[in-house]
Structure 1
């Protein structure tokens, strides 16, 4: 097996060297230059959604208006990763208040669902698909919370572009066509899936013009009737009745009881830059824990892509994810030691456990006092910036498509633990551990970078890598996202389990073959994975020149555009 990894490493490294990498300026792995504009910038994972957001800005809307509009478009055009059946998190820089606001718009478990339901049926894990992992979708309420606090345009105008695209159709991109084909194979026999997502009984593919009149009708009701049209009207009734018909426990009452929560973002200072994340039930503080540990090393001198850098990063990640598995959960049900977890003192203590010469097979969590997504970001001429992430989980979601509503419900409830006494154990009306996280960086109290990426457990690892690419390695915004990434798999999850074999390090092409061999000598198991690294979008503010820089994911369909 070890020889197989070496062969794969050799082939991928050498194949990547055959790719055209000639550039007049910048690093060879950069796919393009940054986008620059003065009045506004939108970066999303779909070019048409980017244009929807940009049109809103040009009509006089602000970044929040544009973010909602673009997110609505993404739910239609990229249903394989997000939609109004999922949850939403956001960090907003308010130019007027000169501060950051955090929004947790994640939904809760059904009031009738508890641990006993599963243990009485001898179930050791919550299913990935079907009605049982469905939690209340928080996206729509998140839109109206953002709009109520910061929005300027009417929601009817904000949602109209997506309503028009849903009625008139749009061409399916190559990547989304690929994912829709996979999803169709899995969900084609689930109720209402084919009616919504398989016109003429065939999977949608690249170039097909897709219309979703059911979603157009749903969005029209939301635009005119507000958030209650989704959570307290016929839509909620349809969702509740459908899930119960499928022998699930989510009810219309669960939707009616839903609320989002404005939260204080938390931060750690990394070499003079404040990196901001949202507190649990999300996993954002794992990025801060990794950065706190890495700040104790001379990362710049290690060099990007070096053995020393990759080794120390992977070990820091392992340490952070042990705490992630134990302590990250809904704070409404637990007293979480967030301040201790992201403290410098705790990072100093954990850093001592890293052996610079050998990969650890296992770590313990610290002893303290008591999957596909879209990421997008928008900035406007007023100085507001929005970092927003939204997802259904496991790509398209649970497979549960309520009749004639035009969207699939999320399966975030799968991420609850069934281990009695665990912080993240399933309880009625509880928010599950969440993987999706927006991020933000400020410098001297002023906005600098709004950014994020997708990919389950990759997200905090990716956040930390982006920060170090920008600060330690001096990359520009596009280079920081295009640079070859690494991902460690095998750490314990908040659903339970333990890492005992050191896990596996997944590397993108572009990492030197000699580096791979040296990592293996340190005890790292090296592997490769297709498509688990992508989804990056970012906007940077140049305070001196009053210019926005935009960057978008080269691995997918994304586009950054400004005016």
Structure 2
């Protein structure tokens, strides 16, 4: 956490009988808990929380980003996964980047539109519900909590307000401007200030009603292409409409008697497993989720 953010929290571990959810935002966690109370399972709740976080912490990630999914089926013991990351535009080749004057030594600005890949999260949400969900709740019902947060508004948390302001400042320093939908009167919301995002509410509502085509075709897709192309990117409607998630076989390693699973590359899960394999060579004692040197 940033040293200039004066915020601390100490909580006891959550112990319960009938199921629990966890996220870094209480409002999003409440949305996931409501899904479980209405008969949904872990996959339903995870998608509901991801969508709610897209509303309450837009400075992190959301429908414009990527997602990975790991799902453990308690009935069969099977672990499956989804790679919900998107590809670069087809036209964005090495020759194209060289033609723009970019090299390994002189890359584009971190905020350049050429870094934008096809958003994979919405497709991953839809596929997670279809493949792993309880099928007791529709996608529309799963996304309803996030839609309500965006429509009615929510009080912005302290951590979110801090990072929100920092990223807007970084964008402006780079000569970029954040869309007005994520500002209040041209400014980032303060801690405790109620923020509404009706445009995102409409997008999530359409995603719930029509599934993947609502995002990767039509109004939303065209809006994505328009803003990317205005800023020098080369993504096309075909890049979006041809996107789909990939069902993957997770990879794993054993550490101190516990088997841990991760999505395979292109996720960074392999790095986490390699680090555990390295740590396994050291004299460590694992107790109550903490690691101690011996």
8 Å contact 2:111–2:171 — kept in the other structure? no
Matched, 1:149 2:126: no
Superposed displacement of residue 183, structure 1 = 2.0
Superposed displacement of residue 223, structure 1 = 0.9
SS in 1 for 2:207: helix
> Who is 2:239 aligned against?
254
> Who is 1:280 aligned against?
265
> Who is 1:159 aligned against?
143
SS in 1 for 2:113: coil
Superposed displacement of residue 194, structure 1 = 4.4
- CA deviations over 1:66-89 (Å, ceiling 9, x no partner): 111111000000111111000001
Query: What TM-score, normalized to structure 1?
Result: 0.48
- Distance in 1, matches of 2:146 and 2:273, equals 36
- Distance in 1, matches of 2:179 and 2:193, equals 15
8 Å contact 2:71–2:132 — kept in the other structure? no
Within the candidate set 226, 238, 253, 1:241 is matched to: 226
> Who is 2:6 aligned against?
none
Within the candidate set 154, 160, 172, 1:176 is matched to: 160
- Distance in 2, matches of 1:270 and 1:167, equals 45
Within the candidate set 252, 258, 279, 1:294 is matched to: 279
> Who is 1:39 aligned against?
18
Runs (4+) of structure 1 moved beyond 6 Å?
Answer: none
8 Å contact 1:239–1:251 — kept in the other structure? no
SS in 2 for 1:33: coil
Superposed displacement of residue 186, structure 1 = 2.9
Q: Which runs of 5 or more structure 2 residues have no equivalent in the other structure?
A: 4-8
Report the structure number with the largest CA radius of gyration: 1
Within the candidate set 210, 220, 228, 2:195 is matched to: 210
8 Å contact 1:180–1:205 — kept in the other structure? no
Q: Which runs of 5 or more structure 1 residues have no equivalent in the other structure?
A: 1-11, 13-29, 300-471, 485-563
Superposed displacement of residue 295, structure 1 = 1.8
Q: CA RMSD in A?
A: 2.0
> Who is 2:54 aligned against?
75
> Who is 2:114 aligned against?
132
8 Å contact 1:184–1:198 — kept in the other structure? no
- Distance in 2, matches of 1:246 and 1:33, equals 47
- Distance in 2, matches of 1:260 and 1:127, equals 28
Instruction: Report the count of equivalent residues.
Output: 279
8 Å contact 1:232–1:255 — kept in the other structure? yes
- Distance in 2, matches of 1:162 and 1:263, equals 27
Query: What TM-score, normalized to structure 2?
Result: 0.89
8 Å contact 1:91–1:102 — kept in the other structure? yes
SS in 2 for 1:102: strand
- Distance in 2, matches of 1:194 and 1:205, equals 17
- Distance in 2, matches of 1:229 and 1:49, equals 23
Matched, 1:271 2:260: no
Distance 1:194 1:295, change over 3 A: closer
Distance 1:185 1:113, change over 3 A: same
Which deviates more, 259-268 or 235-244? 235-244
Distance 1:269 1:171, change over 3 A: same
> Who is 2:215 aligned against?
230
Matched, 1:64 2:49: no
SS in 2 for 1:269: strand
Matched, 1:87 2:61: no
SS in 1 for 2:115: coil
Superposed displacement of residue 156, structure 1 = 1.1
Structure with the higher helix share, 1 or 2: 2
- Distance in 1, matches of 2:171 and 2:98, equals 27
8 Å contact 1:268–1:275 — kept in the other structure? yes
SS in 1 for 2:15: strand
- Distance in 2, matches of 1:243 and 1:194, equals 13
